[in-house]
Structure 1
């Protein structure tokens, strides 16, 4: 890890330590299994959906700066739901992406679609936190975790009724693949440099098990890319900036889906 990714992860570890010192996670640990919300399967929602788009909510990113700074989570997610998303991804990192756990809570109240907590998870407490705020699935990023961490965090998520999307970027990370995860996402964006290459998903496709739900992430903006990735075996497509840069992201999603038909 280096550069932007290193800074993000270092900051995330400090956040987790600060919350632990304040006792914030104590409530999460004691209340996570008492939530009235029962998670639903994100992987099934993706495979059952004709297009399989995971529509993302984010206000900004390190590579693009502000994208939609005034966006309100429940309004955007309602639009995504009406427009045919298979699931929604909610950025909860504040410093680099302008998100918050409150966005996840608002999204949960506004849709029955599966919600992915998009976060740099480095501690089990963040998984309990995701459960309390209404996530159906969590993201685990292979480049910032050991194989043992991935196994442990996957088991924790499953015990809480949530699914796991394991994110890989290159062949070197295949040794951290845990067959117990529910979905594998290939991130076309190098998180160390934030350079995007949509051919990464195509190059990685044949290295993944045939029976795993495959998700292409980042940099997707054209219908042609979706068709090529479908042909390569991908069922899910995580798209954020392409929609969020519009005043009405839900309408942008609707137009995108209509164009794929």
Structure 2
């Protein structure tokens, strides 16, 4: 199962969906543009810790009855933000799971709504679920839709983490108005991972745009390597979720904070 198949199924689903589904209750906290981006930027590299029940490549990762407690553990361990899978068929999450975590009083950090967005209504669904930001995957949409998604998020007070994999996709993201650019080290067609992708692409992103390296960070050596390339943050999922206590694994990973190069000057 690769990206094209997932996106095709997602488009089919939304083509047969009327309006925006109800999810959760009232937002516990207002959506304020810039909240997620601000959480990522600081003297040390930040971590967006992921709540992902399963994946096509790794199978089951986290029982749903441990999802909220895992998010709490991440927040307590020093995560800058928590990413929660809203996709059900392929990753075992749901908008309701995002809503549960976003509404939990012990999850005191911003929440990223992670799904394959192919329709502006999904941005509204993320807002209803209480998220602070949405993930947008450049290669999943055309340029006009990417612009619409970025603008819809901004209008609702949500930040957009715009994910790229190639030089061309970075240009498309910036042209669409992205203020947070992610570089995925995982090829979503083959699911192979190459951490050097972050090294290759970081220099193409302006200094005033927040940056996130996604996938492939397996320990403090990788964390320091990504920090050395000047990234503000990294998104980590499977490395934490394969540990018996993901929150403790994050606390151990953060250990002594890893300075970013410009912060050391």
What's the TM-score once normalised by structure 1's chain length? 0.90
Conserved? CA contact 1:146–1:176, under 8 Å: no
* SS of corresponding position for 1:108: helix
Conserved? CA contact 1:151–1:178, under 8 Å: no
* SS of corresponding position for 1:206: helix
Q: Which moved more, 1:94-103 or 1:68-77?
A: 68-77
Match of residue 194 from structure 1: 191
Is 1:215 matched with 2:209?
Answer: no
Match of residue 100 from structure 2: 106
Q: 1:255 to 1:35 in 2, by over 3 A?
A: closer
Conserved? CA contact 2:85–2:113, under 8 Å: yes
Q: What is the rounded CA distance, in whole Å, between the counterparts of 2:21 and 2:47 in structure 1? A: 35
Unmatched runs of 5 consecutive residues or more in structure 1: none
Greater helix content: 1
Give the drift of 1:171: 1.5
Give the drift of 1:143: 0.6
* SS of corresponding position for 1:237: strand
Conserved? CA contact 2:28–2:130, under 8 Å: no
* SS of corresponding position for 2:186: coil
Q: What is the rounded CA distance, in whole Å, between the counterparts of 2:197 and 2:149 in structure 1? A: 26
Conserved? CA contact 1:46–1:236, under 8 Å: yes
Aligned partner of 1:116 among 112, 115, 120 = 112
Q: What is the rounded CA distance, in whole Å, between the counterparts of 2:147 and 2:166 in structure 1? A: 19
Match of residue 59 from structure 2: 65
Give the drift of 1:159: 0.5
What is the CA RMSD across the aligned residues, in angstroms? 2.1
Aligned partner of 2:88 among 59, 72, 94 = 94
Conserved? CA contact 1:92–1:103, under 8 Å: yes
**4+ residue stretches of structure 1 with deviation over 4 A?**
none
Q: Matched residue pairs, number?
A: 253
Q: What is the rounded CA distance, in whole Å, between the counterparts of 2:68 and 2:28 in structure 1? A: 19
Aligned partner of 1:12 among 7, 10, 24 = 10
* SS of corresponding position for 1:120: coil
Give the drift of 1:109: 1.8
Give the drift of 1:167: 0.4
* SS of corresponding position for 2:247: helix
Q: What is the rounded CA distance, in whole Å, between the counterparts of 1:138 and 1:219 in structure 2? A: 21
Conserved? CA contact 1:74–1:109, under 8 Å: no
